[in-house]
């Protein structure tokens, strides 16, 4: 005799979707300056992957997770300290995709080069000088912590060796060799961290020293007696014998004759 089994129900569903594998690559600059932002870029394939990327530097998260758009996530980041930074990017996938991470990339971060400080140099010289006698030529450099040397020049020619600036001042003691107007300048050559500068020219009028007058002695020789109306010699002897000038003889305080030129 035939028979039949009672009906049983089978619930049929579509297969679970297979999550798509992803790959993540990272692009960073080779170098960066502390305090200046650079772009860190993660590229996720396929480019329709959904999710976010967490960037890290030396293992520490930097910034918030960045949403991937068109397969790309970019973080603009300024590093705080100098040194080698190992940057990574971890893609956290959304539904239908598998998370992935990029290989670490190195960014060498350095502090910015210091900006050299501008300087000004002024020059102080005496208005006059005597040949052979030293006078001070003084250059003042601002700011007074500037480091470097000053080369003084007279009429365009260097005088002396470069003088080290100390507390903003460089002084050269100099004797001019020849008389005349001397145009003096001072050129500051800066050390590290400062900018060189030059002072405006200043004028020194140099003259030869006034001659020193030679002391003289004069002695007088006259006869002990004389006769009125009869001439006698009155002789003055001046030392040294090369002295030039004239002698006025007097008698009882009154000039007699004209001044007589000294000879020998």
Answer with the residue of higher pLDDT: 105 or 11.
Answer: 105
Task: Report the percent of the chain where pLDDT is more than 70.
Answer: 98
Q: Give the closest residue to 182 by CA, choosing from 160, 154, 153.
A: 154
Lookup result for tokens 């579509």 = 14
Beta-carbon contacts of residue 198 (< 8 Å; ≥ 6 apart): 121, 185, 186, 187, 188
**What's the confidence (pLDDT) of residue 49?**
97
* Banded model confidence at residue 12, pLDDT cuts 50, 70, 90: low
**What's the confidence (pLDDT) of residue 257?**
80
pLDDT 10s digits, 147-180: 999 999 999 999 999 999 999 999 999 999 999 9
Q: CATH 2.60.40.10 residue ranges in the chain?
A: 23-110, 120-207
* Banded model confidence at residue 205, pLDDT cuts 50, 70, 90: very high
User: How many C-alpha atoms does 192 have within 13 Å on its Cβ side?
Assistant: 2
**What's the confidence (pLDDT) of residue 14?**
64
Whether residue 234 has pLDDT greater than 70: yes
What secondary structure letter does DSSP report for 194?
Answer: B
Gap between the Cα atoms of 196 and 141, Å rounded? 10
3-state SS class at 193: coil
Q: How many helices (H) and strands (E) does the chain have?
A: 0, 26
Tokens describing residue 131: 């040949």
Lookup result for tokens 């009429």 = 155
Answer with the residue of higher pLDDT: 228 or 49.
Answer: 49
Instruction: Give me the residues paired with residue 33 across strands.
Output: 110
**What's the confidence (pLDDT) of residue 7?**
87
Q: What is the dihedral of CA 126, 127, 129, 133, to 10 degrees?
A: -10
Whether residue 16 has pLDDT greater than 70: no
Tokens describing residue 239: 């030392």
As a whole number of Å, the end-to-end CA separation of the chain is 183
Tokens describing residue 93: 């996938």
**What's the confidence (pLDDT) of residue 85?**
98
Average of pLDDT values for 192-197?
A: 96
Q: Give the closest residue to 177 by CA, choosing from 138, 135, 211.
A: 135
**CATH number 2.60.40.10 given to 23-110:** yes
Answer with the residue of higher pLDDT: 16 or 48.
Answer: 48
Beta-carbon contacts of residue 98 (< 8 Å; ≥ 6 apart): 19, 20, 21, 22
Q: 120-207 — its CATH code?
A: 2.60.40.10
3-state SS class at 88: strand
Whether residue 194 has pLDDT greater than 70: yes
Beta-carbon contacts of residue 159 (< 8 Å; ≥ 6 apart): 137, 152, 153, 172, 174
Of 21-30, 69-78, 112-121, 225-234, minimum mean pLDDT range: 225-234
Answer whether 186's CB lies under 8 Å from 151's CB. yes
Rounded to the nearest integer, the mean pLDDT of the chain is 93
The rounded Cα 116 to chain-centroid distance in angstroms is 6
Of 16-20, 67-71, 133-137, 140-144, minimum mean pLDDT range: 16-20
**What's the confidence (pLDDT) of residue 15?**
65
């Amino acid at each position: 005799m035939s028979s039949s089994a009672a009906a049983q129900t089978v619930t049929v569903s579509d297969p679970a979707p297979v999550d798509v594998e992803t790959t993540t690559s990272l692009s960073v600059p080779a170098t960066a300056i502390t305090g200046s932002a650079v772009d860190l870029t993660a590229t996720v394939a396929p480019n329709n992957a959904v999710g976010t990327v967490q960037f890290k530097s030396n293992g520490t998260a930097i910034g918030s997770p960045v949403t991937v758009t068109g397969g790309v996530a970019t973080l603009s980041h300024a590093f705080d300290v100098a040194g080698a930074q190992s940057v990574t990017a971890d893609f956290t996938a959304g539904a239908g995709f598998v998370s992935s991470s990029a290989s670490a990339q190195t960014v060498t971060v350095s502090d910015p080069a210091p900006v050299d400080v501008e300087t000004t140099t002024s020059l102080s010289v005496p208005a006059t000088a005597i040949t052979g006698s030293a006078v001070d030529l003084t250059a003042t450099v601002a700011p007074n912590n500037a480091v470097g040397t000053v080369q003084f020049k007279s009429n365009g020619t260097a005088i002396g060796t470069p003088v080290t600036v100390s507390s903003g001042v460089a002084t050269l003691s100099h004797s001019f060799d020849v008389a005349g107007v001397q145009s003096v300048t001072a050129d500051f050559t800066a050390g590290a961290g400062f900018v060189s500068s030059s002072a405006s020219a200043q004028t020194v009028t140099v003259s030869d020293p006034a001659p020193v007058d030679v002391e003289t002695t004069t002695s007088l020789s006259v006869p002990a007696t004389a006769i009125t109306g009869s001439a006698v010699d009155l002789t003055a002897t001046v030392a040294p014998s090369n002295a030039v000038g004239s002698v006025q003889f007097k008698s009882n305080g009154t000039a007699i004759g004209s001044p007589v030129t000294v000879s020998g």
